[in-house]
Amino acid sequence: MTEQPTPQPTTGITYASAGVDTEAGDRAVELMKASVARATRPEVVGGLGGFAGLFDASALRGMERPLLTTSTDGVGTKIAIARALDVHDTIGQDLVAMVVDDIVVCGAEPLFMTDYIATGSVEPERIAAIVSGIARGCELAGVALVGGETAEHPGLMAPDEYDLAGAATGVVDAADVLGPDRVREGDAVLCIASSGLHSNGFSLVRRVVEHAGLRLEDEVPQFGRTLGEELLEPTRIYTLPLLELVRATEVHALSHVTGGGLAANLARVLPQGVFAALDRSTWSPAPVFEAIRAWGGVARADLEKTLNQGVGFVAVLPQDSVDEAVRILGRHGMDAWVAGEVHGSAEAGLGARATAADWVTEAKGVAGGAAALVGEHA
């Protein structure tokens, strides 16, 4: 048996010398206080620095059967773009959008959110910039940022590496839950424009940029700005406009267009046995989508399964609610248009132009209705 060496006495090892600087963490908290203070609601009890956030839920007593909703998500590899450009004050809005807009899908109002940042080394200004973006996103969504955590992971992550995650809680009265059971034949499918790529598909995007030999600093004429600025465009937050829409009109279902693309996410909120084919000719995707296709020679099917193609949200609603819905969204600076209709058969309406291979009938474990994209973009 090999004799194990006897550890020698040593002195002087500290948490800081092991790679964790608690004082830097404290400085980061001081720098982020002003941003977090703006991301609040009247129901928040206490302030920054507690072990847990407190939220007064007494208002829920006014609901007949309040249902709490929750969602968690991250930003994905879009963070690599932020790191490469050393621009960190937008990525937090992406995080908020990915979390709170999933809650709105069922008709719920997001109430409060917490965030988690893991990094190889706490650089106070960088952490404060990230949190400022999270706080701004919460302001846009009417959500309170009631707490968070910054964890330093030396040896596990490089000093400039970081990752984000967040979780939010919302509420909806049981009688107001949106979903497939409300959808009816003849309903219109209203598409709502995205602000760009949002926060999905960046593994594909980054691979295309690398393949094309492009630099993030390159000016791209069709974008009117640099490639990096286009890629970092924050994800649009739909929460408050959609809540207004749901309260002012009759909406049957909502779909957040994230991973999987437009057809797959629409299919998730349709009941089995119905079909919705969306006509591409009703909109023109922003130039960034065509650029990604052209630079990488990406097949349309793969592009549409990965990127939002200019549609960030979909509302399924009665035809007589469409005009008011478009007006409401327009007041919030959001373009919206009818791209299709819900039918009882694949042959009806626009569906006659879709082949069997075009229909998406199951996504992320949900066996819903069928959705397809047909025609050519304007």
- 3-state SS, the chain, equals CCCCCCCCCCCCCCCCCCCCCHHHHHHHHHHHHHHHHHCCCCCEECCCCCCCCEECCHHHHHCCCEEEEEEEEECCCHHHHHHHHCCCCCHHHHHHHHHHHHHHCCCCEEEEEEEEEEECCCCHHHHHHHHHHHHHHHHHHCCEEEEEEEEECECCECCCCEEEEEEEEEEEEHHHCCCHHHCCCCCEEEEEECCCCCCCCHHHHHHHHHHCCCCCCCEECCCCEEHHHHHCCCCCCCHHHHHHHHHHCCCCEEEECCCCHHHHHHHCCCCCCCEEEEEHHHCCCCHHHHHHHHHHCCCHHHHHHHCCCCEEEEEEECHHHHHHHHHHHHHCCCCEEEEEEEECCCCCHHHHHCCHHHCEEEECCEEEEEEEEECCCC
CA distance 217 to 220: 9
Q: Which domain does 326 fall in, by range?
A: 180-374
Buried b (16+ CB within 10 A) or exposed e, 48-86: beeeebeeeeeeeeeeeebbebebebbbbbbbebbbebe
The CATH number covering residue 31 comes to 3.30.1330.10
- Render pLDDT for 185-228 as a digit per residue (tens, 0 to 9): 999 999 999 999 999 999 999 999 999 999 999 999 999 999 99
**Residue where a domain terminates, one of 134, 158, 173:** 173
**Residue where a domain terminates, one of 110, 142, 173:** 173
Instruction: Based on the fold, state whether residues 150 and 28 are members of the same structural domain.
Output: yes
Instruction: Based on the fold, state whether residues 166 and 190 are members of the same structural domain.
Output: no
Instruction: Based on the fold, state whether residues 162 and 307 are members of the same structural domain.
Output: no
Instruction: Based on the fold, state whether residues 155 and 222 are members of the same structural domain.
Output: no
Residues sharing a CB contact under 8 Å with residue 355, sequence separation 6 or more, in sequence order: none
How many domains does one find in the chain? 2
What pLDDT, on the 0 to 100 scale, is given for residue 345?
A: 83
Asked if residues 234 and 97 have their Cβ atoms less than 8 Å apart, the reply is: yes
| pTM value > 0.85 | yes
What pLDDT, on the 0 to 100 scale, is given for residue 46?
A: 77
Instruction: Based on the fold, state whether residues 139 and 199 are members of the same structural domain.
Output: no
Instruction: Based on the fold, state whether residues 207 and 315 are members of the same structural domain.
Output: yes
Instruction: Based on the fold, state whether residues 142 and 258 are members of the same structural domain.
Output: no
CA distance 233 to 90: 8
Instruction: Based on the fold, state whether residues 309 and 226 are members of the same structural domain.
Output: yes
**Residue where a domain terminates, one of 173, 196, 219:** 173
Those residues of the chain that have pLDDT short of 70 are 1-11, 13-29, 31-33, 48-49, 349-352
**Closest residue by Cα to residue 194 from 111, 285, 84:** 285
In the chain, how long is the greatest CA-to-CA distance?
83
**Residue 362 placed within a domain:** yes
**Residue 4 placed within a domain:** no
Instruction: Based on the fold, state whether residues 202 and 231 are members of the same structural domain.
Output: yes
Asked if residues 89 and 133 have their Cβ atoms less than 8 Å apart, the reply is: yes
What pLDDT, on the 0 to 100 scale, is given for residue 28?
A: 65
- Render pLDDT for 148-190 as a digit per residue (tens, 0 to 9): 889 999 999 999 999 999 999 999 999 999 999 999 999 999 9
Instruction: Based on the fold, state whether residues 149 and 186 are members of the same structural domain.
Output: no
Instruction: Based on the fold, state whether residues 211 and 343 are members of the same structural domain.
Output: yes
What pLDDT, on the 0 to 100 scale, is given for residue 31?
A: 62
CA distance 191 to 262: 10
What pLDDT, on the 0 to 100 scale, is given for residue 352?
A: 65
